[in-house]
Amino acid sequence: MLAFTSMPDPGQTETPVTLAQLDRQLILLTQDGLPLVPRPFDALATTLGVSADEVKARFERMLANGCIRRIGAAPNHYRLGYRANAMTVWDVDDARVMELGERIGALPYVSHCYLRPRIPSQWPYNLFAMIHGKNRADLDGYLTEMTALLGNARRASDLLLSTRILKKTGMRFSGGQ
Amino acid sequence: MSALTSPTSTHTPSTNTIELSGLEKAILSDYQKGFPLTPRPFYTLASQLGCTEAEVLACLQRLQQLGVITRIGPVFNHRRAGASTLAALRAPVGQLQDIAELINAYDEVNHNYLREHDLNLWFVVTAPDADHLDAVIRNMETATGLKVRRFPMVRPYHIDLGFRPDFD
């Protein structure tokens, strides 16, 4: 199988990469999805005035440098029956958060897991994990499991249930670039 | 306010159960990443899945129409290809609707969730560069009169793996 996925190096920093104008055009053109036609890369190439090989080479390069995380189907959890969705936030010992973040991120019900900065006296949590269940009871079970996994590295945590999606579009680039 | 108290989303209005075919489940489970960069990628998928290219294309169109997938395509890392941050604010309950609409109106906002917390509006802001991102957030603070808290990603864990649906 010809699969291209980005493989982040564990020590990878999130340094912005300078993108060529053509890469930005490609992003703008595909952020709502690839054209569902037999030869999508040819279709994009025609629009951009380059070859299909050039389009594929640019996708491969952006996968390699981490500008593209993956190419594939983006599921809508809610529509798949995952009606209970929450952001869980954890205050995890800095010395252990790298190892534990990877393990939390690998749990099957976690879709996204990020390290983010705390805000002194405002926000004590440094680990964010989005969890998805069919109902609230599922989420409670997951929380118990995550709490056990984090053990004594966890100082505090909170669960922010998603009450309502107010806006959800694909990740967008605003124009002008 | 009633529009904000319903637990369902405007973008996923129906709550009926969707029956998915074996092919649809296979695509959802196996193709959240690794889309083939071949001249006829849907043909490549079809040969891996044991069906025709036309069936794969029809299946993806149906999944999009049903809203089960939002798209098939690249998932960009805006931290790399520009600037982005998770942000949150405390919207007073009486002003929630107005503030949510104000935040949603920015092109730079792509997700906005109401959550059960003191910080009740959570949204993602993306921009071509850090200066633009900063200007947008300052503009939001002026427009709402509220402090916007920023939670930029320091690092992701495992997020390139996609989310595996459980079809039992």
Considering the domain architecture, whether residues B89 and B129 belong to the same structural domain is answered as yes
User: Which pLDDT belongs to residue B67?
Assistant: 87
Strands, sheet with B109-115, edge to edge from the N-terminal-most edge strand: B149-151, B83-89, B121-127, B109-115, A154-168, A84-92, A127-133, A110-115, B155-156
- Give me the helices (H) in A108-165, please: 136-150
User: Which pLDDT belongs to residue B165?
Assistant: 64
Tell me, yes or no, whether B115 lies in a domain.
yes
Q: Rounded distance, CA A39 to CA B89, Å?
A: 44
Cβ of B157 and A6 within 8 Å?
no
Q: Could you report the per-residue pLDDT of B90-110, keeping only the tens digit for each?
A: 999 899 999 999 999 998 898
Considering the domain architecture, whether residues B87 and B60 belong to the same structural domain is answered as no
Cβ of A76 and B83 within 8 Å?
no
Tell me, yes or no, whether B91 lies in a domain.
yes
Spatial CB neighbours of A139, under 8 Å, sequence gap ≥ 6: A84, A86, A131, A133, A159, A161
| Residue ranges, CATH 3.30.70.920, chain A | 84-161
Among chain B residues, the shortest Cα distance to A168 is held by: B111
Q: Rounded distance, CA A123 to CA B149, Å?
A: 10
Average pLDDT, chain B: 84
Tell me how close the Cα of B25 comes to any Cα of chain A, in angstroms: 10
Which has more confidence, B58 or A81? B58
Determine the average pLDDT of the residues in A111-123.
92
Range of the domain at B29: 22-66
User: Which pLDDT belongs to residue B150?
Assistant: 96
CB A55 within 8 A of CB A41: yes
Spatial CB neighbours of B114, under 8 Å, sequence gap ≥ 6: A162, A163, A164, A165, A166, B4, B96, B100, B120, B121
User: Which pLDDT belongs to residue B28?
Assistant: 87
Determine the average pLDDT of the residues in B55-66.
94
User: Which pLDDT belongs to residue A11?
Assistant: 39
Tell me, yes or no, whether B93 lies in a domain.
yes
Last residue of a domain, one of B6, B39, B66: B66
| Per-residue DSSP letter, B95 | G
- Residue A121, token pair as written in the block: 């006296």
Q: Does position B111 have pLDDT exceeding 60, yes or no?
A: yes
Q: Rounded distance, CA A130 to CA A112, Å?
A: 5
Q: Rounded distance, CA B43 to CA A50, Å?
A: 23
Domain A84-161: CATH architecture, name and number where available:
2-Layer Sandwich (3.30)
Which CATH number fits the domain that encloses residue B116?
3.30.70.3460
Tell me how many domains chain B contains.
2
Q: Does position B147 have pLDDT exceeding 60, yes or no?
A: yes
Q: Which chain B residues are Cβ-neighbours of A158 within 8 angstroms?
A: 117
User: Which pLDDT belongs to residue A174?
Assistant: 44
Tell me how close the Cα of B94 comes to any Cα of chain A, in angstroms: 16
E strands, chain A, are 68-75, 84-92, 110-115, 127-133, 154-168
User: Which pLDDT belongs to residue B7?
Assistant: 40
Report yes or no on whether pTM surpasses 0.90. Answer: no
Considering the domain architecture, whether residues B141 and B99 belong to the same structural domain is answered as yes
Tell me, yes or no, whether B94 lies in a domain.
yes
CB B162 within 8 A of CB A70: yes
Considering the domain architecture, whether residues B128 and B88 belong to the same structural domain is answered as yes
Q: What is the dihedral of CA A120, A121, A127, A128, to 10 degrees?
A: -120
Tell me, yes or no, whether B54 lies in a domain.
yes
- Residue A148, token pair as written in the block: 């056990």
Considering the domain architecture, whether residues B60 and B97 belong to the same structural domain is answered as no
Cβ of A165 and B113 within 8 Å?
yes
Backbone angles phi, psi at A24, to 5 degrees: -65, -40
Tell me, yes or no, whether B3 lies in a domain.
no
B72 C-beta neighbours (distance < 10 Å), count: 23
Determine the average pLDDT of the residues in A5-23.
56
Q: Rounded distance, CA A105 to CA B47, Å?
A: 32
Cβ of A102 and B110 within 8 Å?
no
Q: Which of B57, B63, B72 sits opposite A72 (nearest CB)?
A: B72
Q: Does position A107 have pLDDT exceeding 80, yes or no?
A: yes
Which has more confidence, B142 or B4? B142
Q: Which chain A residues are Cβ-neighbours of B153 within 8 angstroms?
A: 14, 114-116
Tell me, yes or no, whether B15 lies in a domain.
no
User: Which pLDDT belongs to residue A111?
Assistant: 86
Spatial CB neighbours of A57, under 8 Å, sequence gap ≥ 6: none
Determine the average pLDDT of the residues in A117-144.
94
Q: Which chain A residues are Cβ-neighbours of B157 within 8 angstroms?
A: 101-102, 104-106, 113-115
ipTM of the complex: 0.70
With cut-offs at 50, 70 and 90, classify the pLDDT of residue B9: very low
Q: Which amino acid is at A148?
A: A
Tell me, yes or no, whether B156 lies in a domain.
no
Burial label, A125 (beta-carbon count in 10 A; 0-12, 13-18, 19+): buried
With cut-offs at 50, 70 and 90, classify the pLDDT of residue A145: very high
Find the helix or strand (DSSP H, E) in which A52 lies. Answer: helix A52-64
Cβ of A70 and B160 within 8 Å?
yes
- Which stretch of A107-116, A137-146, A166-175, B24-33 has the lowest confidence by average pLDDT? A166-175
